[in-house]
Amino acid sequence: MYHLRNLATVLIFVTMVLLAGNRFYMPFGKENGDLLVKEAALLEAGQEDALLKKIKEEAKLREEKPEDAYIDRVWKKTPGRSGIKIDIQESYKQMKKKGEFDPNLLLKKEVTPATGLSDLPPSPIYRGHPKKEMAALLINVSWGTEYIPSMLKTLKEENARASFFIEGKWAKEHPDLVKMIADEGHLIGNHAYSHPDMSRITAEEMKYQIAETNKIIEAIIKKKPVWFAPPSGSFNEQVVKIAAKEDMHTILWTVDTIDWKNPTVSVMLNRVETKLHPGATILMHPTKATATGLGPMIKSIRAKGLKLGTIEKLTSPSR
């Protein structure tokens, strides 16, 4: 208690000096200075402001440590998750104005994990963080041109963003559609140049398939893709490493619509709904079933409490 009184006395003295005149610089402002004086006085008396105490108690319950990105034995490279820190002083100031404790006035700040996806060795990504209340639509494009406009129309009406993985040869033949997809805010990734089985070609061919597609897409949208989706999901360790040398992440999926088999819309929707989970990546293509069922699918995903975002947003550590 003796040390507390000494500390309080020093705090009061320093604050009074800083508040004494305009010629003194006040780095924390008058409001914070007043708060410091009050806290110091309470500290000297061996007490603590009841509101401040409540805020500190709530902070202990609500704060979470950040989780680093890691490589899972099954799901491979997995994104980290930002932690939560409560700004106690700012929360106190806001509630003091209101005159009572209000959990809605607790100021939360996200704390970025120390280790991100780019800090890990090359490995495929299948999903977002398993606690992230978000899913991503992955649309692989190498055919189905006639369905792209209606899918874009639905995405716009639903205010949803998707990730389109585009084949290089298709992009070369349909630059206007590629630009339209990008202009409407969707992410564009690389789906190789001519849809080969990436696990069965040489290293040189792998490099060509990825680099040539990047070159074509970048010429159209003025931005180099950083996400690579191997055709048919076929890959090996060498494919992932070659993509990484191009500063690209290799992306796969956790939920498959199997829309290329032309299912009914109800069958496709049921397939997605039963396998949906936080952090899900949902594979689809421009097909009649998907073009017809995309709107209901988006509504169904949101009804499960999940937001929709691009693969970039899904795999970011932000909450």
pLDDT tens across 157-174, in order?
999 999 999 999 999 999
Q: What is the identity of the amino acid at 255?
A: V
Long-range contacts of 117-121 (CB under 8 A, 24+ apart): 117/69, 117/77, 117/79, 117/80, 117/249, 117/315, 119/69, 120/69, 120/70, 120/71, 120/77, 121/71
pLDDT tens by residue, 176-195: 999 999 999 999 999 999 99
Domains defined for the chain, CATH in brackets: 1-48 (no CATH), 50-120 (no CATH), 122-314 (3.20.20.370)
- Report pLDDT for 5: 44
pTM of the model: 0.82
pLDDT tens by residue, 229-286: 999 999 999 999 999 999 999 999 999 999 999 999 999 999 999 999 999 999 999 9
- Report pLDDT for 40: 55
Pick 59 or 24 by higher pLDDT. 59
Q: What is the CA radius of gyration of the chain?
A: 27
Q: What is the Cβ-side half-sphere exposure of residue 138, based on CA atoms within 13 angstroms? A: 35
On the question of pLDDT at 114 being above 70, the answer is yes
pLDDT tens by residue, 193-230: 999 999 999 999 999 999 999 999 999 999 999 999 99
